[in-house]
Structure 1
Amino acid sequence: MAFWIPIDRNHVLNEGWEKNATYQWGIPLHPLGEINVIDYVLQAQGDIEDMRTRQRSLIFQMFCNVISACLFARNVPVAVRILMRQRRALAAWCCLLQALAGLTYTLSCLGCGMPDGPLCRHVLWIAGAGIALSSICVGTTLLQKAYLVHNKNKWMLAIGIILLLPQPTVTYYTWISPAAMVPSAGCLLLYPPELPWIKLALDAPINIIFSVAFIIVVYRQYHLFGSAAWARLVRDGIQTMCIIVLSNIVCMLCIAFEVANLFSEQFFTLDWVITAVLLGHHLSAQLHIRNVAHVPRTTHALRDFSQIETAPSHGLSRPHDAKWLQSWRHVHT
């Protein structure tokens, strides 16, 4: 498939292209990044094969963006329902911000295919900001969970905050890197070779801390509860937190070693979507647990009482009992 044709960064970026480029905020803008999907496809008029190649890659991107938009949109009502009950739920705020950022990115990608839609560069700049925001939101959620399960360890909280602060570095490199429309890949960020290793340096330390923190929790739970520990880990959300960390580590390594050439940048978005799905699943499970916990038990306790037949009372049918009841009512009225 044409989408997986390797791309040479130097082949797309001709030597000395910055000299004739337009600058914004001191950033050189590549001409191929200053067009949208429709303009890019129309540039291939007269070459049917080239036009088909461009359309295939763009349709594939659009398909992925539609699925991603649906997954991000699913998290919004879940987070809102939790926030309506508990406005200080940090995980719900993080989930909501991550989902809104993801929707903004995916909708801008879809809008890039509309007349007068966003340019390729605009879409990638939105992605750069969203990826950093997603990393901060997910890291904050993991840090809060690790902080609580380790008896509110202040050192863990301080180290986690310090390691999360440099995440906007990814946004900076995304914005200064040239964007370009490539026939076999659509809108692509031609990032510098050092960016994957910078991302690795940013994510590795905090992921190691989270991994160790949650492994300790798993060991303690297993030591206390044996085979029943896994059910408790699922209920407490530790299992989901571990999967989020694993997803981040795998995607981080794929980006660092460029397992798919320049297409490895798609692992940024993939990790974004996976963590959003897992975070939404975690919040949905917690919401379900809270709903079950607040179901009144009185209904179940008295459910069958109405089915009990009472024996007919014959005592009050006697005349002296009737007179006694009448006199009792007279005294107490």
Structure 2
Amino acid sequence: MFEENGHILEEGWEKNATYLLGIPLHPQGELNSLDFIMQAQGDLEEMRLRRHNLITQTVLNVLLGYIFLYNTVVSMKIVIRRRRILAGWCCLLQAISGLAFVACSIGADLPNGPSCRQVLWTAGFGMAFSPICVGVTLLQKAYLVHNRSKWLLTAGIVLLAPQPLITYYAWKSPALMVNTGGCLVIYPSELPWIKLALDAPINITFSVAFILVVYRQYRLFGSAAWARLVRDGIRTMCLIVFSNLICMLCIVFEAAGLFSEAFFLIDWVVTSALLTHHLSARRSTQNLPHRPRTSHVLHGSLQAAAAPSESLNKSVSEDSQLVRYAHVQVSIG
């Protein structure tokens, strides 16, 4: 919820607040779900209202938990098959961080469970950790296909470095229980735009850098494997960026009212699912034929007849490219 909706926060609440790491903690944010409901004991309608909104959040968290659990299982299979593949570990850690958040949020419904603030701080960490996992995966692919380009690696580090800003904003923003919305964080209005500005350049830059090289190889060799990589790469990039944009716009325009901040979580789980699907699809790509199509072979033969020495040099270059990209394919899973 935006800070502009400040009527939820009473004036001067920071004066009586306790502090942790220099951050003021709202008393209502230190309650878990049961404590918040029992706080309205004696007012049956108020208790029902509070429980209804908390149940809505719980149902959403259960659905997110199912998707994160599925992504975790698929990621574990990828890691077990190829333990040295960095992308598989990134996918697994991203899914596990989502499970940790869901476990924390559902645990808030239990006696002595985590407080609202603890749940939201867990989400704040995960919302920064997830783009880092996606960015590292995309950076690794682009880095390898560009022959371990140092400038691309440097650009990747620079783009990924500001991601902890999301955690900073999430942690410093007041967290509290609200009878009309459940467990909410009162974040600054610029936060959705900051998150979009941090996520989109990473996803676009690294994906485009990877797709351009793969497309060049497809034009050169024409195999079904390269075509599949181009298609899957473009689709994954577009869907991730589309998810970032739509979810942030839904938050900005408060499409779901007080529950609009749930789109932060939806973007998180959608990105996790897309990354898992992309890595799973890459495994099937390895079973596709890598040999050049007949038309490409004939085209190369005609060129060889017209310019033998030039064709020979090009053939040697293409063979080296095939060896290098076969190695890249193995390295990134």
TM-score normalized with structure 1 length: 0.76
Root-mean-square deviation over aligned CA pairs: 3.1
Q: Which amino acid aligns with 1:205?
A: P
The whole-number CA distance in structure 2 between the counterparts of 1:71 and 1:259 is 23
Q: Which amino acid aligns with 1:147?
A: Y
Of 143, 153, 156, the match for 1:157: 153
Name whichever of 150-159 and 53-62 sits farther off.
Answer: 150-159
The whole-number CA distance in structure 2 between the counterparts of 1:217 and 1:60 is 46
Counterpart in the other structure of 1:285:
281
The whole-number CA distance in structure 2 between the counterparts of 1:220 and 1:43 is 64
Deviations 1:92-143 (A, max 9, x none): 1111111110000001000000011000000011111111111100111122
SS in 1 for 2:35: helix
SS in 1 for 2:142: helix
TM-superposed CA distance for 1:12, in Å, is 1.2
Deviations 1:281-327 (A, max 9, x none): 1222234455789xxxxxxxxxxxxxxxxxxxxxxxxxxxxxxxxxx
The whole-number CA distance in structure 2 between the counterparts of 1:146 and 1:198 is 24
SS in 1 for 2:151: helix
**Alignment partner of 1:87 is 2:83:** yes
TM-superposed CA distance for 1:212, in Å, is 4.4
Counterpart in the other structure of 1:15:
11
Counterpart in the other structure of 1:196:
192
**Alignment partner of 1:59 is 2:32:** no
The whole-number CA distance in structure 2 between the counterparts of 1:50 and 1:231 is 59
**Alignment partner of 1:138 is 2:134:** yes
Q: Is the 8 A contact 2:138 2:206 kept in 1?
A: yes
CA 1:262–1:209 in 2, change beyond 3 Å: closer, same or farther?
farther
TM-superposed CA distance for 1:20, in Å, is 0.7
The whole-number CA distance in structure 1 between the counterparts of 2:235 and 2:188 is 36
Gap regions ≥5 residues in structure 1: 294-333
CA 1:213–1:249 in 2, change beyond 3 Å: closer, same or farther?
farther
Name whichever of 117-126 and 71-80 sits farther off.
Answer: 71-80
Of 23, 37, 47, the match for 1:27: 23
**Alignment partner of 1:37 is 2:27:** no
Q: Which amino acid aligns with 1:121?
A: R
> Between Structure 1 and Structure 2, how many residues are aligned?
289
Q: Is the 8 A contact 1:233 1:239 kept in 2?
A: no
Over alpha carbons, which structure has the higher Rg? Answer: 1
Q: Which amino acid aligns with 1:110?
A: I
SS in 2 for 1:44: coil
Deviations 1:263-288 (A, max 9, x none): 43222111110011111212222344
The whole-number CA distance in structure 1 between the counterparts of 2:259 and 2:216 is 41
**Alignment partner of 1:271 is 2:251:** no
Deviations 1:28-72 (A, max 9, x none): 110110100011112222333322221221111111111111111
Counterpart in the other structure of 1:77:
73
SS in 2 for 1:62: helix
Gap regions ≥5 residues in structure 2: 290-333
TM-superposed CA distance for 1:190, in Å, is 0.8
TM-superposed CA distance for 1:241, in Å, is 3.5
The whole-number CA distance in structure 2 between the counterparts of 1:225 and 1:55 is 61
Of 94, 104, 108, the match for 1:98: 94
User: How many percent identity over aligned positions?
Assistant: 62
Deviations 1:175-203 (A, max 9, x none): 11110111222110111233233323323
**Alignment partner of 1:122 is 2:122:** no
Deviations 1:141-195 (A, max 9, x none): 1222333444544323321221111101111111111101112221101112332
